[in-house]
Structure 1
Amino acid sequence: MEKQSFDLAAYADASRTGPCFVCRLVARDPAFSHEILYEDDENIAFLNRYPTLYGYTIVAPRRHREHLASDLTESEYVRMQLLVRRVAVALEATVPCERVYVLSLGSQQGNAHLHWHVAPLPPGVPYEQQQYAALMAENGVLAWDAEDAAAIGEQLRVALVRLS
């Protein structure tokens, strides 16, 4: 899948000045739809809208939380990490990957809602293009559409159900 350029400045501005992206998704804002893979009363998993890797998924608490240590109880954290792991296992079962990256990004200055990135690195990516380089939108995002998202979304939902 080819990559296309990404307007990082516009994205940064929206994430710093606009409403919370996870809260918009949870509220089902029609202007901000994503391919949802899993949700329960506490957590949600959905495809990244601007993926740098095929199958790149975000996992977040449904309620607005900003701090891992002070905003989540230990049991909430453990349940979320179990979902992160299930998503990683589903990705490994669905898309070819050499490794699945898991990290939490965001900041009080933008994208403050606590969330985890679960991103499958495909086999054969040269080492210099792996790790952070593979995740950076500055290097382009995958050129895909709602049909592509729906196709991988359905495969991942099936894999997640099997893991339940």
Structure 2
Amino acid sequence: MNLEAYVERTESGPCFVCAFLAGNPNYPHETVFEDADHIAFLDRWPTLPGKVLVAPKVHVEHVVRDLNETAYSRLMLFVREIALAVEAVCESERTYLYSLGSQQGNAHLHWHIAALPSGVPSSQQQFHALMTENGVLSLPPAQRDEMAARLREAVSARGVLKEG
């Protein structure tokens, strides 16, 4: 991953979530699950196996102010269900949930779901495990597709979310 190019793209390019949803070939992601209002997809530059992003399909920028209570609750239920699927597939010691972005780049509200594997030394956990500066996993397309399929199966097996 070229971090300088990434920062430039986030600050000057289109909204990556909206571009992905519109089918822009420069913003490809493997969809894990979607319903009428939300989408979950594999992180393009994962730092941990099975790292997933979740976003509302409509362009929303602020995690608290831009969603009414019902929309916020529905989004968080979706995040929870995807996180439980990630845990089922990736067998995590801890699951990190966080929302990043700013008005300068990656403004579209999105949640990161990252499963910390057991046995990671404490010095390589938390922020260290999440920072692309410390390395990203390079998975061939077939492995990404397999991970997305396994996560999709785990979501479907729980039966809480309905595709749409």
Shared fold by TM > 0.5?
A: yes
State the distance in 1 between where 2:138 and 2:54 align: 22
Please give the TM-score of this superposition, normalised by the length of structure 2. 0.94
Kindly tell me the number of residue pairs found equivalent between the two proteins. Answer: 159
Query: Residue in 1 aligned with 2:135?
Result: 140
State the distance in 2 between where 1:128 and 1:60 align: 30
Unaligned runs of 5+ in 2: 160-164
User: In structure 1, which of residues 88, 98, 103 is the aligned counterpart of residue 83 of structure 2?
Assistant: 88
Instruction: Determine if the alignment matches structure 1 residue 26 to structure 2 residue 15.
Output: no
User: In structure 1, which of residues 142, 150, 154 is the aligned counterpart of residue 145 of structure 2?
Assistant: 150
Q: Which amino acid aligns with 1:154?
A: A
Percent of residue pairs bearing the same amino acid type: 50
Query: Residue in 2 aligned with 1:97?
Result: 92
Structure with more strand by fraction: 1
The Cα offsets for residues 36-87 of structure 1, whole Å up to 9 and x where unpaired, read as 0111121100000000000000000001100122211111111110111111
Query: Residue in 2 aligned with 1:11?
Result: 6
Q: Which amino acid aligns with 1:80?
A: L
Q: Note the aligned Cα RMSD (angstroms).
A: 0.9
Q: Secondary structure at the match of 2:88?
A: helix
User: In structure 2, which of residues 106, 122, 131 is the aligned counterpart of residue 127 of structure 1?
Assistant: 122
Query: Residue in 1 aligned with 2:31?
Result: 36
Please give the TM-score of this superposition, normalised by the length of structure 1. 0.94
Unaligned runs of 5+ in 1: 1-5
Shift of 1:155: 0.3
